[in-house]
Amino acid sequence: MSKKQRTVMLIDMQSFYASVEKAKHPEYKNKPLVVAGDPARRSGIILAACPLAKQKGVKTAEALWEALQKCPDLIVIRPHMQEYIDVSMQIVEIIESFTDLVEPYSIDEMFCEFTGSMHLFANNPIHLAKHIQTKILSETGIYARAGIGENKIISKLCCDMIAKKISGGIFDLKKEELDKHIWHNPVREMWGIGSRMEKHLWKMGILTIGDLAKTPLSTLRNKWGVNGEVIWRTANGIDNSPVSVDTHRMQKDIGNGMTLPRDYRTGSEIEVVLLDLCSEVCRRARKKGLMGSVITVSISGADFDYKTGFSRQIKVVDPTNITLDVYETAKRLFYDYWDRQPVRRVGVSLSDLVKDDIYQLTLFDNKERQRAIDKVMDNIKDRFGEVSILRASSLTDAGQAVDRAEKIGGHYK
């Protein structure tokens, strides 16, 4: 008996942030609109551009001032991250009414498998995708596209290279037709290929996805090991991985970073930011019941033309989620590697995570008192809000805790 052909879709929301804003503001329906960060805080970057703005040449990730030069009548809206998260969750719930196998890939992309449920809703994958597309549009105002294939890789390639570019936004790509629809594309357009890898492949005479697919696997494995096999399998549409609701639930690290509102030039200013970030990272770790034994500090310099900065980590003896422990280690890392040049971005993360229900007791440090203080501060913030209790340093000119409390992922809620 032959194995049943899988039906997997990658469902993607068109210009997601901009689409949410247009659904909320019907008066902007026929106007070019972008969602962009706050120019006053050096985050004036285009996060999303609607199709009308893209027709004017506006591109995602370009500076807002460049976009305005291309399209002076551009509608610019500051991001509302909590709304985008809420709409994304609503879309997941809509898809879950058709299948219980929904794997969020990003805030606006979801892998879904309908192998066992499609017969309940439609006669073929195209009809099912249209049904889902219509339901998402009617309930959220968001236009969805769907790439269909027998596995996640094919559905992703199909969505990115075909469905997003055709009228109707839906395409069913058969594995045996990769050469017809995918292989002629430049290798850079393939999922998983960055600019550096592209240059390496060019030197080998590999210019298209088809060139990559036809390259002997042994050649790629000898050059890049497992990564060589991964890109070869992607080009050939080979993927046995399941669509799993648990794929992204195994957290590897907990971190936070921020671009500063101005160049920070003194160690004392940067210490304040480090403490704010360590407080936030450790609170999130405690909330998840986790500790970490690897602490990473990342610094970016202020000079865009001459890049400076570093990313360094250190493994501590015992896992921790105590704010002052992490802060003291982060501060030591910072001073060991800082070149004394102005800083524009700071990041802190905690990794090598373990459960915090068992930890090492020590005779020489009063860790229990520090844990109790952290717990009291967590409880106060949970009850009364993020800025209900702060360290005094957070209220100085260098502190960012108050501003960050109004944001999600660096953008206003």
pLDDT at 387 exceeding the cut of 70:
no
Residue 12 assigned as binding residue: yes
Of 186-190, 251-255, 351-355, the range with the lowest mean pLDDT is 251-255
End-to-end CA distance of the chain: 53
Strand 102-106 vs strand 109-113: parallel, antiparallel, or unpaired? antiparallel
Strand 290-301 vs strand 309-320: parallel, antiparallel, or unpaired? antiparallel
pLDDT at 43 exceeding the cut of 80:
no
Q: In what order do the strands lie in the sheet with 8-13?
A: 102-106, 109-113, 8-13, 144-149, 170-172
Cβ atoms of 61 and 44 within 8 Å: the answer is: no
Q: Which one has a higher pLDDT value, 174 or 318?
A: 174
* Per-residue pLDDT tens over the stretch 184-241: 999 999 988 888 899 999 999 999 999 999 999 999 999 999 999 999 999 999 999 9
Nearest-angstrom CA–CA distance, 80 and 121: 34
pLDDT at 98 exceeding the cut of 50:
yes
Cβ atoms of 319 and 291 within 8 Å: the answer is: yes
Question: What is the DSSP code string of 193-249?
Answer: --HHHHHHHHHTT--BHHHHHHS-HHHHHHHHTHHHHHHHHHHTT-------TTTTT
* E strand or H helix at 318: strand 309-320
Indicate whether this model's pTM tops 0.85.
Answer: no
What percent of the chain has a predicted confidence (pLDDT) above 90? 53
pLDDT at 39 exceeding the cut of 70:
no
Looking at every residue in the chain, the average pLDDT score rounds to 86
CA distances (Å), origin 146, targets 54, 95, 101, 125, 192: 20, 12, 16, 10, 19
> Which residues are bridge partners to 35 per DSSP?
48, 77
- Exposure b/e, 283-303, CB count within 10 A at least 16 = b: bbbbeeebbbbbbbbbbbbbe
Q: Which one has a higher pLDDT value, 135 or 390?
A: 135
269 in active site: no
Of 93-97, 110-114, 361-365, 376-380, the range with the lowest mean pLDDT is 361-365
Tokens of 224: 């890049």
Write down the pLDDT at residue 409: 52
Write down the pLDDT at residue 259: 82
Of 4-8, 200-204, 351-355, highest mean pLDDT: 200-204
Residues 27, 66, 96, 109: which is the catalytic one? 109
Backbone angles phi, psi at 319, to 5 degrees: -55, 145
Nearest-angstrom CA–CA distance, 380 and 306: 44
Q: Is 98 left (phi over 0), alpha (psi -120 to 50) or beta?
A: alpha
Q: Taking Cα atoms as reference points, which of 321, 324, 328 lies closest to residue 391? A: 324
Of 8-17, 141-150, 151-160, 184-193, the range with the lowest mean pLDDT is 184-193
Nearest-angstrom CA–CA distance, 186 and 183: 8
Residue 397 assigned as binding residue: no
Write down the pLDDT at residue 96: 93
Write down the pLDDT at residue 51: 94
Cβ atoms of 292 and 320 within 8 Å: the answer is: yes
Write down the pLDDT at residue 377: 76
Residue 1's pLDDT band (cuts 50, 70, 90): very low
What single-letter DSSP state applies at residue 107? T
Residue 147's pLDDT band (cuts 50, 70, 90): very high
Distance from chain centroid for Cα 380: 30
What percent of the chain has a predicted confidence (pLDDT) above 70? 86
Q: Which residues 6+ apart lie within 8 Å of 354 measured at CB? A: 290, 291, 292, 293, 319
Write down the pLDDT at residue 15: 93
Q: Which one has a higher pLDDT value, 362 or 384?
A: 384
Write down the pLDDT at residue 42: 46
Write down the pLDDT at residue 32: 95
pLDDT at 73 exceeding the cut of 90:
yes
Write down the pLDDT at residue 135: 96
Domains of the chain: 1-175 (3.30.70.270), 183-235 (1.10.150.20), 253-412 (3.30.1490.100)
Section 346-367 average pLDDT: 73
- Exposure b/e, 163-196, CB count within 10 A at least 16 = b: beeeeebbbbbeeeebeeebbebebbebbebeee
